[in-house]
Amino acid sequence: MKISLLAVGRLKSGAEQTQFNRYFDLFNASARNLAMGPMAVFEIPEGRHESAAERKEAEAHELLKRLGPARLVALDENGQSVTSYEFTAMVSRLRDEALDVAFAIGGPDGHGEALKNAAHFKLSLGKMTLPHGLVRIVLAEQLYRAMTILQGHPYHRA
C-alpha cells in the first residue's frame, strides 16, 4: 500500500517542515513492517487565476493528474470527522484490500468541485480552519499514530 500526500503549495523551511519531517520519517521507518508506505509527497504550486473558483479548479486538475489508481481522500472542512481509531480502521481496510491511498490537501481556497467529486472520502480534521502546513503535520502524525495503533505500540495512549 502506497500512501501519497497531494498538496497545494510548499512547506517553507523552519518549524513546520521540521515537524512534518519528524512524522514522515517515523512513519516511513516502520511502515513496511505493516505493508504500508512508503509515504510520498507531491506538491503543486498555488493557482494564479484571479477568481477563487478558477484557482480551485486549476489546482484540482493538477492534483488529479498526480492521483494515479489510488483511492482519493480529500481533506475538507465539510468532510467527516473521525477518531484516531476510526482513521486507523479506514487505513487498515485500504491496506488489507491492497489499495493505495492519496490524501489531497487543498490550497487557501479549498478544493475544486472536480476533486471533491472524485474523492472516495472527505475527511475533516475538525471544525476549525487550519493552516495548510499544520494540516500536513497533523495528517502525517495521524498516519504515524495509525501505524503504531496497528502495531500495538505504546505511542497511542487513549
Q: Is residue 48 part of a domain?
A: yes
Instruction: Provide the pLDDT for residue 33.
Output: 86
122 is in an annotated binding site: no
In a domain? residue 84: yes
Cell of 102: 492519496
Q: How far apart (Å, rounded) are the C-alpha atoms in residues 132 and 1?
A: 25
| Secondary element (H or E) of residue 7 | strand 3-8
> What is the phi/psi pair of residue 85, to 5°?
-70, -40
Q: What is the pTM of this model?
A: 0.94
Give domain status of residue 91, yes or no. yes
Residue 106 is assigned to a ligand binding site: yes
On whether residue 158 sits in a domain, the answer given is no
Q: Would residue 36 count as lying in a domain? A: yes
88 assigned to a ligand binding site: no
Residue 33: give the domain boundaries. 3-151
- Is residue 157 included in any domain, yes or no? no
- CATH, residue 32: 3.40.1280.10
- Residue 65, annotated ligand binder? no
Residue 158 has pLDDT above 70, yes or no: no
Residue 75 assigned to a binding site: yes
What is the tens place of the pLDDT at every residue in 35-92?
A: 888 999 999 999 888 899 999 999 999 999 999 899 999 999 999 999 999 999 999 9
Decide: helix, strand or coil at residue 103. strand
Structural domain total, the chain: 1
